[in-house]
Amino acid sequence: MRMNRLRLNGFKSFVDPTDLMILEGLTGVVGPNGCGKSNLLEALRWVMGETRPSAMRGSGMEDVIFNGSGSRSARHFAEVSLILDNSDRLAPAGFNDNDTIEVIRRITRDAGSAYKANGKDVRARDVQMLFADASTGAHSPALVRQGQISELINAKPRARRVILEEAAGISGLYARRHEAELR
């Protein structure tokens, strides 16, 4: 499953609709301090179902909504869309009807987050599973936060095991077992 495109609208500093093509090979994002490089990576993690505001460097999830600047007023919602190539049809049931999957997460002030996949309402859990099965997702070791390497070096063995399980692609299975045990 390949990521093809990331679209942001009202997310953090990206007040105007912004479209980022993710081409094959390496994509580099360069720019001066504060231009929004880390915000882009956070948008990616957010649309994949991140639930912790702290991972977005905020105190509440609504902090991801553009909060105004000198000449621009604050927005009422933020939306991020991620377009995936599903031509190998490896996505789980419910996501597997098309060659592409568009996952959209939208947050509205006072109304929280809502997710859609190819136009249909889905739960946060479904989106998190979709990415967990593809060995990626909001907690994927493929997404390395600024400062995370030094945190990793100092991590306890248990925390390191979680990272290895993500990398091995079995964390989706654990999550499903946990759900099954709760039923």
| Residue choice 55, 63, 98, 162 for contact with ligand ATP (CB under 6 A) | 63
Binding of residue 141 to ligand ATP (CB under 6 A): no
Binding of residue 71 to ligand ATP (CB under 6 A): no
φ, ψ for residue 22, nearest 5 deg = -110, 100
Binding of residue 70 to ligand ATP (CB under 6 A): no
- Smallest separation (angstroms) from Mg ion to the CB of 41: 8
Radius of gyration of the chain (CA): 17
Report the residue number, 146 or 154, with the smaller CB distance to Mg ion: 146
Greatest CA separation found in the chain?
A: 52
Q: Which of 59, 75, 55 has the alpha carbon at shortest distance from 67?
A: 75
Burial bucket for residue 33 (CB in 10 Å: 0-12, 13-18, 19+): exposed
CB atoms within 10 A of CB 94: 13
32 labelled as ligand-binding?
A: yes
- Smallest separation (angstroms) from ligand ATP to the CB of 91: 30
Binding of residue 98 to Mg ion (CB under 5 A): no
Residue matched to tokens 């789980």: 92
Residues that bind ligand ATP (CB under 6 A): 12-13, 31, 33-39, 63, 65-67, 146
Residues that bind Mg ion (CB under 5 A): 37-38, 146
